[in-house]
Amino acid sequence: MELFLATLKTLLSVAVAAAVCYLFHHYSSRWLRFQRVRKKLCMQGITGPPPSFLSGNLHHMQQLQFKANKAGTHSEIVAHDYTSTLFRISITGENNTLGKDAYMTKVLKPMLGNGIIRSNGQLWAHQRKIIASEFFMDKVKGMVELMVESTAPLLKKWEATIDARGGRATEINVDDDFRSFSADVIARACFGSSYVKGKQIFSKLRSIRTTITEQGFLFGHSSSRFLPNNNKVSTLEREVELLIWETVKQRQQECFGKSLGQKDLMQHILESAVTDASVAPQKFIVDNCKNIYFAGHESTAITASWCLMLLALHPEWQSRIREEVAQVFTNGLPDADSISRLKMVTMVIQETMRLYPAGAFVTREALEETRMGNILVPKGVCIWTVIPTLHRDPDIWGPDANEFKPERFINGVSKACKSPQGYIPFGLGTRLCLGKNFAMVQLKVLLALIVSKFTFSLSPSYRHSPVFRMLVEPEHGVYIRIQKI
């Protein structure tokens, strides 16, 4: 008994000593440094609520999120400014002394690895060089036929659903169908496979995203993040990497001996990984495939859902698009030439991405002390640009900033607002989204074909509640009542 008590006493002493050491380390390495940085910012007029020792301002930010107000009726939806309740931070900027911030990249590692979205410096520049050329407009135009083919199953499914109800208006949840469509396009265009082959990859990546956001992606405590589900995330991460590598090996066999003109993005990534001795080939390939699978499918599908929601609220824009499509498409289908002449469709997409940009933030970390205008940003400070807030700023967009008015883009982005830097749905600067052209053409094809074949309105089942889950998406999905024309 005495031995047991002595052992217990020793263990308790060790535990207390470890706790004291942790608190001292936290105080000296984090708290004091944080206070020095905060003091520098406060001296320049940048203030905020006083932080606590262990959790900073996390509790304050969580409380603000809980106060989010929901729009009550369909008539309130467009004017409903969700940005002030979802997001409470906004400092902007971009130059060569800024990089992807350590906080966000650490959180995203299970899903994106060290691929192009998450990397910095030479690794990022090398990956961009490989991937960028595959999304130049001349190559994207060559994918229009593929995009039309990927749209066909969706249109047939909706037609069959309406026919099953005797041709009457039918309620449809569009979200999963748009995910399937965009996943099929990215899989076929970049990796030479169909959505059926990549279905497990997309599903598991989505599960990782869901788990990360459930554990407090934005305002969670970093010390406790993923503890309840860390095994789940790790397991999903390994499964995704295994599935991607199996796809890669199969693609290697299919592409063996093909000429350069026949090679797709995956083949270019394969060749670069083999010839570059500075990276581990398998990790390089898998990480970049993760990035392309995620970026090429989730954000486009979410934007398509928001487009349908807004068009359902504004049938006059459905009519304008329908008239334009009838004039532009000679045989009822888009091609590389006609897709660039869809002005009405383009305006609707641009206005949708202004009001509901899928990407919520541009985040950068000051890699060294950086001057931005009159503000001196200390090294290590994370700089956040909240895109939805920027897109709804009345000083930039005018008093109708919260209204759906696609006509504001009739003369392009430069004439739509007071500053072209006020519109950044694809980011800004050197890290502008590589898939911008690909996403825009894909959305044009999808919307043009849907509106040319169907008329639709918002279903009474629809509940307007934008939510941040790494991307800004409709929390309860988008439900429409749809009829064949």
> Binding site for heme: residue ranges?
433
Virtual torsion, Cα 348, 430, 262, 283, nearest 10 deg: -110
Burial 290-323 (b: 16+ CB within 10 A, else e): bbbbbbbbbbbbbbbbbbbbbbbbbeebbebbbe
Kind and range of the H or E run holding 103: helix 102-112
- Which residues share a beta bridge with 454? 484
Whole-angstrom distance, CA of residue 192 vs CA of residue 205: 19
> Per the annotation, where are the binding residues?
433
Whole-angstrom distance, CA of residue 308 vs CA of residue 81: 19
What is the total residue count of the chain?
A: 485
Q: What are phi and psi of 119, to 5 degrees?
A: -85, 170
Whole-angstrom distance, CA of residue 457 vs CA of residue 467: 22
Residue 215's nearest CA partner among 469, 485, 483 is 469
CA 461 to chain centre: 26
433 is written with which tokens?
Answer: 């989204």
DSSP label at 382? E
173 is written with which tokens?
Answer: 């949840």
